[in-house]
Amino acid sequence: MGKNLLKLSDLHTDEIIAILDRAQMFCQGIDVPKFSDKIACNLFFESSTRTQYSFNVAEERLGMRVVSFNPASSSLNKNESFYDTVKTFDSFGVDALVIRHSENEYFNQLLGHVDAAILNGGDGTGNHPTQSLLDLLTIKQEFGRFEGLKCVIAGDIAHSRVAHTNYEVMRRLGMEVVTAGPKEFLEDSLDQEDFDQAVKTSDVVMMLRIQRERHAASMSMSAEEFHKAYGLTVEREKTMKDKAIIMHPAPVNRDVELADCLMECDRARIFKQMSNGVFVRMAVLERAVK
């Protein structure tokens, strides 16, 4: 059985660094393997542009054959369960299953029941390991280290698998991580700081999308009010440290969590993050099927 990638908290920091080093080699076009006898299957039960299609590109770059699943035209419409759907693709003999699902830790029900390696493309509000790996690669490329850097993760923390994954792994790698945003989106168990203060003192300002699809009730403020109070406005960006960078996992609601004109400004690394997504996904696919 190949190596699963379910949660970054399952991985020792040495293994995380090894994945990042391999991804950096792929970024430079060094030692790219070919797995033309391997088949990957992308099972996205939740919407995705970046994760789904950058896995697809990563699989193509590794010479793998790719099966993509369309939930709308599948037998999910005939009440087939998530478990039986995944078991079906596993029974076809594919080598890797890339899965995104809205249920936290959906993968627990599959462990011991599928032969293919499982690569988690996001589970509910729990984990997004490849997003965190691409965020870490982007930070490493920028600063050459993690130790001693400060990151503020701002916005809808409570509903964000990116926030939860990054908070744990960044701290383990020696970064200071604080969260900021409206009280209704914060979690008591995570360190918090005033947003304006955190923007001024952080090396990485990571903004998050308001994840309305996960909200039980509507947000207490309008998008305009949110932008003014907790968004990275043009005025706030001017208070950032000289070398500090702006990150966002995307998709971005322009002019809500981030001013439209900052999306591609000199310190924005948002599209760089997307490019790096292909390289980290190549690295975790290699780890899964070699």
Cβ-based nearer residue to ligand CP, 193 or 232: 232
Tell me how far apart the alpha carbons of residues 217 and 6 are, in angstroms, rounded to a whole number: 30
Q: Confirm or reject binding of residue 181 to ligand CP (CB under 6 A).
A: no
Contact with ligand CP (CB under 6 A) among 145, 224, 251, 261:
251
Q: Should residue 50 be labelled a site residue for ligand CP when binding is judged by CB under 6 A? A: yes
Q: From the list 42, 56, 131, 165, which residue makes contact with ligand CP (rule: CB under 6 A)?
A: 131
Q: Judged by CB under 6 A, which of 9, 13, 49, 108 binds ligand CP?
A: 49
- Residue 182: asked if its preceding bond is cis (omega within 30°), the reply is no
Q: Does 250 bind ligand CP (CB under 6 A)?
A: yes
The CA distance from 37 to 64, in Å, is 7
Among 2, 124, 182, 249, binds ligand CP (CB under 6 A): 249
Looking at beta carbons only, is 193 or 256 nearer to ligand CP? 256
- Collapsing DSSP to helix, strand or coil, 19 comes out as helix
One-letter identity of residue 183: K
Residues in the interface with ligand CP (CB under 6 A) total 10
Six-digit token string for 226: 């949110």
Read off φ and ψ for residue 122, nearest 5 degrees.
125, 125
Q: Which of 4, 42, 51, 127 binds ligand CP (CB under 6 A)?
A: 51
What residues have CB less than 8 Å from 7, skipping those under 6 apart?
Answer: 120, 126, 127, 129, 165
Q: Is the Cβ of residue 179 or residue 273 nearer to ligand CP in the bound state?
A: 273
User: Which lies closer to ligand CP via its Cβ, residue 122 or residue 182?
Assistant: 122
Q: Where does this chain touch ligand CP (CB under 6 A) — which range of 34-42, 176-184, 228-236, 248-256? A: 248-256
Q: According to CB under 6 A, which residues from 8 to 47 bind ligand CP?
A: none
Site track 148-167 with ligand CP (rule: CB under 6 A), x = hit: --------------------
d(CA 182, CA 25): 40
Decide: helix, strand or coil at residue 167. Answer: helix
Helix axes of 161-172 and 129-143: crossing angle, nearest 10 degrees: 50
Q: In what order do the strands lie in the sheet with 117-123?
A: 65-68, 39-44, 96-101, 117-123
Of the pair 135, 142, the CB lying nearest ligand CP is at 135
Q: Give me the residues paired with residue 180 across strands.
A: 154
For the CB of residue 98, give the shortest distance to ligand CP in the complex, in Å.
11
In this structure, which amino acid lies at residue 75?
A: S
Residues that bind ligand CP (CB under 6 A): 48-52, 122, 131, 249-251
